[in-house]
Amino acid sequence: MASVLRTAAQARPAVARTALRPASRLTPVVLHRKYAAAAAAARAVSSDSGERSIFPDEPSGPSVKTAIPGPKSKQAIERLSKVFDTRSLNMMTDYQRSYGNYIADPDGNVLLDVYAQIASIPVGYNNPSLLLAATSPEMASALINRPALGNFPQHDWADILETGILSVAPKGLDQVFTGTTGSDANELAYKAAFMWKRQQQRGGAGVDFTDDEINSSMQNQSPGAPQLSILSFSSAFHGRLFGSLSTTRSKPIHKLDIPAFDWPQAPFPECKYPLDQYAEENAREEQRCLDETERLIKEWHNPPAAIVVEPIQSEGGDNHASPNFFRGLRELTKKHDILFIVDEVQTGVGATGKFWAHEHWGLSSPPDMVTFSKKAQTAGYYYGNNELRPNKPYRQFNTWMGDPARAILFRAIIQEIERSNLVQNTANTGAYLYDGLARLAEQYPKEIQNLRGKGQGTFIAWDSPRRDEVLKTAKSQGVNIGGSGAQAVRLRPMLIFQKHHADILLEKLDTIFKS
């Protein structure tokens, strides 16, 4: 096992030797093309399923040698504890020895990873294409010359955006404001919404602030600091900074003791699964939630400037609703002249079998803003309407405004996704995996309840009455799985997760349920 796991230190000179020489005459695009051809030639056929492996040289399966954490991990945890809070620690990780879908620990254990750094690793650990991007001269420059993008953008920033972040912009949205994390992305979008709404109330971009607005803003009082809100949904998760946490309604432990804005919370539909079997009942539940949303828009004492919603509520327990519900929200926002923000921080970048999960909805007009992070490894919000650019400079601004290094990495991720058709792979693998889980659910009805995510790629979850025990046992079986909400097991594999990986996962689950 260990022999097929390359460390980054070993892999890098190898890549450099074959592809980077003579580096000075080749552009990164040409270099990448060379590597891609080499990788394609090296593709192996998996003996288990007969499918072509997307990620060459991956381990053929998990390998568990010690209890987890083993002795070396325990030692590392003890040392880290002294300087860093480790009480949320799940598994001490050796990233140099992790590869593809497999995560390694310091004790030599190698696990199939279907949690992927809380859904944020897109194309595999130590992906050679990303390694190439990470060792490129432009990456080095981006790392050591980090710009204040709003003041001193690099001359090729437009090019990096257009060939990267914007090349996968949701339909109808052709601009971006870049940020650093999912929370940051959402808060930036909220700020854009507030400025837009106040400008509208004021009578347009040409109308100046009043003295009262100017003075009261400095006192954190209205009208300068307006009594407006962002409407979110029960069980939503949009981040943990003060504004985003005010829209997060996942769990008390996320919110306790932190001051919050008095913003409204509409009920998210509590649908029955599988969705299509309970279509009529679910439609009634969704209509109830839409009605309550509309009531809150009209009546909440701090009127919303925007609605924010996740296509699938992730941290809150993998809660799904139908496209009809989301179309309904879009209509409500139009009717009441507020903005529709879709938070694709966890659902975006291919995991649901579409590049953006909201593509499943068939909206008649695009969302006003779509926020992204995690698998993008950078963050920000897409928008299309020029009115969402505030009317003066320095209103939507901060020192770094994102990070070109991470934007360059996202471009490499996008190229890797396109090269290996990974969104389609995720749709196909997801369908295969869902069917396998449905069979297991029939066999073990007490273990797999409310299976959900059909047709949503590998974005699959179920409820488990003994969830935490299952997750723990899975580790000893060589599978790293995450939970969400109170009792959901959520699968969040990478986009390179294939049928032969699904087979391993299904087999391990069978073993766990038997026990």
The count of residues in the chain is 515
Measured from the CB of residue 24, what is the shortest distance to a second copy in angstroms? 6
| Candidates 197, 374, 475, 499; catalytic one | 374
> Is residue 447 close enough to count as binding a second copy by CB under 8 A?
no
Q: Which of 47, 50, 144, 206 binds a second copy (CB under 8 A)?
A: 144
Of residues 358 through 377, those in contact with a second copy by CB under 8 A are 374, 377
Task: Please give the sequence-ordered ranges of beta strands (E in DSSP) within 384-473, or none if there are none.
Answer: 449-452, 460-463
Among 5, 31, 32, 105, binds a second copy (CB under 8 A): 105
* Cα angle for residues 239, 240, 244 (degrees, 5° grid): 60
Which residue in the list 194, 237, 325, 340 is annotated as catalytic?
Answer: 237
326 part of the active site: no
d(CA 286, CA 394): 40
Q: Which is nearer to a second copy, 48 or 208 (CB)?
A: 208
Among 280, 394, 442, 514, binds a second copy (CB under 8 A): 394
How far apart CA 164 and CA 28 sit, in angstroms, is: 14
Stretch that binds a second copy, among 146-154, 288-296, 316-324, 437-445 (CB under 8 A): 146-154
The residues in 24-63 that bind a second copy, with binding defined as CB under 8 A, are 24
Query: What is the distance between the alpha carbons of residues 494 and 100, in angstroms, rounded to a whole number?
Result: 9
**Shortest distance (Å) from residue 264 CB to a second copy:** 9
Helical axes 279-299 vs 323-335, angle rounded to 10°: 20
Residue 125 touches a second copy, criterion: CB under 8 A: yes
- State in angstroms the smallest separation of the CB of 380 from a second copy: 10
Quick one: which of 405, 417, 427, 488 contacts a second copy (CB under 8 A)? 405
Strands (E), 253-312: 265-266, 304-309
Interface with a second copy (CB under 8 A), residue from 37, 148, 207, 486: 148
Please tell me whether residue 262 binds a second copy under the rule CB under 8 A: yes
Compute the distance between CA of residue 348 and CA of residue 354 in angstroms, rounded to an integer. 8
Is 237 noted as a catalytic residue in this protein? yes
Using rule CB under 8 A, residue 423 touches a second copy: no
Catalytic residue among 343, 368, 403, 463: 343
Query: Does residue 173 contact residue 370 with C-beta atoms inside 8 Å?
Result: yes
- Tokens at 30, concatenated: 């040409």
Per the annotation, the verdict on 94 as an active-site residue is no
DSSP per position, 337-360: T-EEEEE-TTTTTTTTSSSSGGGG
293 catalytic residue (yes or no)? no
225 scored as a contact of a second copy (CB under 8 A): yes
Cis peptide before 393 (omega within 30 of 0): no
Give the span between the Cα atoms of 260 and 98, in whole angstroms.
40
Which CB atom, from 184 or from 285, has the smaller least distance to a second copy? 184
Angle at 372 between CA 124 and CA 306, to 5 degrees: 160
| Residue 304 β-bridge partners | 229
Which stretch, 78-86, 321-329, 354-362, 462-470, contacts a second copy (CB under 8 A)? 78-86
Residues annotated as catalytic are: 237, 343, 374, 399
